[in-house]
Chains A and B, each alone.
Chain A
Amino acid sequence: MAFRDVVIVGSGFGGAVMAARLGEAAKLTGGAAKILVLEKGEDHTGAFDPASTGGALNAQGNRFRHSLSPESSGKVAQLFTDTAGAFKSGTPSMNVIAGLGVGGGSNAYDGVSLRAPTEAFEQVRDGRRLWPSVYSRASLSPYYTKVEAMLHVHRLAWTDAKVPHWQLATKRDFVFADGCRKIGATAVPLKLADEDDANEGWWNQGQRFSGRQNLTKNYLADAKGAGVELWSGCDVDQILPTKDGYVVSGTDRRVTPSVRFEIECKMLVIAAGAVGSSGLLLRTKPAFAQRRAIDPTNMVGKQVSGNGDYGVTGVVGKDYEFAVEGHKGKPMSSFCPSYWTQHQFILIPFYAAPLYLSLGQPSTLLRAKDPRAVGRASTTLEDGARDWGGAYKQTLKSFGSRILTMGCLALDGCEGEVRLGRGGNGVEVAWQSTAASTERRWSAAIDAMRRIYESLGGEMFLDGYRKDGTVNTAHPLGGCRMAEASDAGLGVVDPNGEVFGNPNLFVVDAAIVPSALGANPSLTIAAVAESIADRLVRGAGTRSFADRLV
């Protein structure tokens, strides 16, 4: 059986940071420790795994194409859904979009890099702080700074008086700002992780140019430099404890036909994302539990946040026609923080390719019967409206120049769940019911967004939550939540990401984040991983990395 000292499952904002930092530590101590990253998707760069499948490299030296076709976008993002319809039969109660391929979530993110607000870390439920005491906005500050340097994070601007032209917010952000002002709110430029961006448009998933800070350009490049191996196309489906460590097994799809692999390791870091990591533990739990107890209080897959994501689509009025131009520039470059203090949500205008606005529900691109309705499954299509045919096509044609998409990110109540699908194989997500506090925030956000559209002379269309009760999120958090070491029953991992009762088994990614953040989470996930790696390498409050490999 193959052996590596450390195996890391996943190469996103958790796995890439751990690979870089543990790789550096191993290199400093002579490089004897062997570290391997296993990634389910392809190596879009061709630089990390020569055996990776995928087409020829393009002129920019990667395999990214435009993000519109399912054939292309299916290589950089994956959808987890609720096949049973937990809220309404036949309709998903939740859809989660997650990154795929070497670089994980950075293949599908929009580069937004906001620090989570203080209030996110101080949330309390049942009299207990959701986050372990070691975490606060202040304690994470040095790690945020570290990640921001690695990802070249900078704040955009409205004018190029002080910044290069490529660092400007887009026209549609100016339109959004105008709408915000008309309802008494304010839009400001976002912080983004990009560099000398070509603003080529159709930026949403993957990016063939060098602008966006994909993790392959920073953390994973450092990991490679430190001698860390990376295998793409390797889908881990089981982990088992041994006397001295763990055995990881799965399917290697780089060869045809695919083959099974098994690797033994001393230390195992699961970093496959909120849904992926939770799903892996759920799938492996029955066999694992025959050898050693894991998750005795059944917390895996529970208390999953969608980070309060709620997206809507609409059109602006004639005065703003030709001004929103979705195909140009960065997909997100401003946000409205005006409602944070009162309602704990922010608003972000963004561009998504027209095909994906439908998300299988083309009717959500049409008018609601009651435009002012708020709440789950609160309204339907206008009477007689069809989501196909000539009139529908005319609606689509009107989008090209007038479409403006917006979303809110809020503090939700972690009402989601990751669970096993039919037959115990596939991983699914579900959102059974919405907490009253979440409903209040979303209702206030929807009302604000509707008023922005109307102030711009346009209108907001029907969305999936109001029509069918479907929660769509690109920011899943939790499922293997952290808890204080003294509160093992309330979580899956301790504040260092180590699974309770299972030494040297870690989860370090979005899955351990114990609450919604209210801001785009990639920066916080990476900062939490930096803090864990720092404590491990220094042996601060836990056994040191070096000790663990002896």
Chain B
Amino acid sequence: MTDARTIVPRRRPKWGQRLVILIPALWLAVFFVVPCLIVLKISLSQTVIAQPPYTPLLDLSAGWQGVQDFVSGLSFESYKLLGSDAIYLKSYLRSLVIAGFSTLLLLLIGYPIAYGIARAPRRAQPVLVMAVFLPFLTAFLIRIYAWVNILQREGLLNDALIALGIIKAPLVWLATDTAVIIGIVYSYLPFMVLPLYASLEKMDETLLEAAADLGCPHWKAFWLVTVPLSASGAAAGALLCFIPIAGEFVIPDLLGGSNAMMIGQTLWTEFFQNKDWPAASAVAIALLVILLVPILVYQHLQLRDLQDDSGAG
């Protein structure tokens, strides 16, 4: 921070500039980093029947004795529980499979939409982007609730399918994996389309003209030029969807069945119903470890974007 040249040319860093960095950094340290550390600590404490229901945190007022108590009090019981009960492993696997499958579907559905918007007339593009983004602003819970109306047994989907003569008797949609995946794809579609559109829109059209001039057929140029150039947008969109979907609670809770849970539901149940805070914390930490690689890749992509933009400006 003391290197003045890199901050503003010919100016020494002032207090104001430091504050600009320090205020958000402090806020996030206190309300984001410290809480994560507390989760880690509580995942290592023992469950007790009390309020709060775990053995105490680091007690610094007790001095060295407090530190010793802290170290000797660490317990891996909650993690052993995660390994020993198949229900946890099953919900982790289920979350990853559902998140992976929905992300793939989102890519397949989102790509043609983003591609279409990027090819639309320049004046129409902001309107189309807004149209894709607008449902995102109208309350997530409502949009899931709308699907409950449609997918229930006497719902509109069954009515429509029967009226069209496709099925004879109503099918069960609600409380199935299909319903969960429909809900996820519906809710996360804007997060897939917008990064894809951003990368497609930046593309240099002369590359496609060059390919056409050299006799490359249209579909081949799309496959060899457009798709690779939009790969970073696809990666950003996929991660922006995959990571939160893996921890999703509301969608599987409202649209899914009660027999198999995703990990977000398991954590919720441990915490709100079983009141086992150390177990809930261990579930959270294990989920975080599983998602660490995708989160770091996403961070890397974001930082690279920021660097590119700053470099150009």
Verify that A and B bind, or say they do not: no
